């Protein structure tokens, strides 16, 4: 199972990704985790990323794709993966498509968790108010203001991916405003339907291959064809006149006796 999870911040992608990992035995791929692992391992692409991050720059799409490429080659990827947080833009999605094509890896589905942004903001406001009431510290990136910025960024950069994957018939949309359990059940339902459809198509293909008619009998050998051709040619030729004795020439008619010889 190879999946991508799409959805704005707060849609519940992380929660659903963990449940899919537990159910299907697949690996959750986070670009942040992969970058840190590559840097710690000192791989060539990890060293490139380290140099960029040390200078305060943003790691390029090429470097991220290279890190994903290296990760996909690891043995634990045999059961599949879930990409959460990548791709974020259409160019990244196109680069990922090219990578998967080169590796002969099929992307099964892109699951979009669709939510109401106003409801998300209200959820965050309620959570922050409850935390403050309990005297707990609120993280800077977990405020309504910060969430509003992240939602705006999602709309401008990532939301176009919905159209991108819809055109490629990979997009499956789930109502992210349902309860966590309901969202999980719906995701499992549509993934099971995909699996059943693919199994049916594979069985049909195997049956068609098995029922394929036998190959035509090979043509006669070259010598046999030549003999047959010679027989046809001989049948078309006219019969020859009989030959005379001795020199092989046709027999000539006897000469008439001359008058002189007749008198004798």
Single out the catalytic residue among 19, 114, 123, 127. 127
Percent residues over pLDDT 90 in the chain? 46
The CA distance from 259 to 256, in Å, is: 9
Single out the catalytic residue among 139, 189, 205, 229. 139
Backbone dihedral angles phi then psi of residue 207, each to the nearest 5 degrees: -65, -40
Answer yes or no: 88 catalytic. Answer: yes
Q: Which residue would you say has higher pLDDT here, 232 or 207?
A: 207
Q: Which residue would you say has higher pLDDT here, 144 or 24?
A: 24
The CA distance from 126 to 249, in Å, is: 125
Q: Which residue would you say has higher pLDDT here, 152 or 218?
A: 152
Single out the catalytic residue among 2, 19, 36, 150. 150
Single out the catalytic residue among 88, 114, 123, 170. 88
pTM of the model as a whole:
0.71
Check whether 18 has a pLDDT greater than 90: yes
Backbone dihedral angles phi then psi of residue 109, each to the nearest 5 degrees: -165, 155
Confidence of residue 206 (pLDDT cuts 50, 70, 90): confident
pLDDT, tens digit (0-9, with 9 covering 90-100), for 238-254:
555 455 444 445 445 55
Confidence of residue 207 (pLDDT cuts 50, 70, 90): confident
Answer yes or no: 13 catalytic. Answer: yes
Answer yes or no: 236 catalytic. Answer: no
Answer yes or no: 71 catalytic. Answer: no
């Amino acid at each position: 199972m190879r999946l991508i999870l799409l959805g704005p911040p707060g849609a519940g992608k992380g929660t659903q990704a963990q449940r899919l990992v537990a159910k299907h035995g697949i690996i959750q791929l986070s670009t942040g985790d992969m970058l840190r692992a590559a840097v710690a391992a000192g791989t060539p692409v990890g060293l490139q990323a380290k140099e960029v991050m040390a200078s305060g720059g943003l790691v390029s799409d090429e470097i991220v794709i290279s890190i994903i490429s290296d990760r996909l080659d690891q043995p634990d990827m045999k059961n599949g993966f879930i990409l959460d947080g990548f791709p974020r833009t259409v160019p990244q999605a196109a680069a990922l498509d090219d990578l998967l094509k080169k590796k002969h890896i099929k992307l099964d589905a892109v699951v979009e968790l669709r939510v109401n942004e106003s409801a998300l903001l209200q959820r965050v406001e309620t959570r922050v108010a409850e935390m403050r009431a309990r005297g707990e510290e609120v993280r800077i990136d977990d405020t309504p203001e910060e969430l509003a910025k992240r939602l705006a960024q999602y709309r401008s950069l990532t939301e176009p991916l919905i159209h991108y994957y819809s055109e490629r018939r990979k997009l499956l949309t789930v109502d992210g405003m349902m309860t966590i359990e309901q969202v999980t059940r719906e995701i499992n339902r549509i993934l099971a339907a995909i699996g059943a459809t693919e199994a049916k198509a594979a069985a049909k293909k195997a049956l068609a291959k098995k029922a394929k008619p036998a190959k035509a009998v090979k043509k006669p050998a070259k010598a046999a064809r030549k003999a047959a051709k010679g027989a046809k040619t001989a049948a078309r030729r006219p019969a020859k006149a009989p030959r005379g004795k001795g020199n092989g020439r046709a027999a000539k008619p006897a000469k008439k006796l001359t008058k002189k010889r007749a008198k004798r």
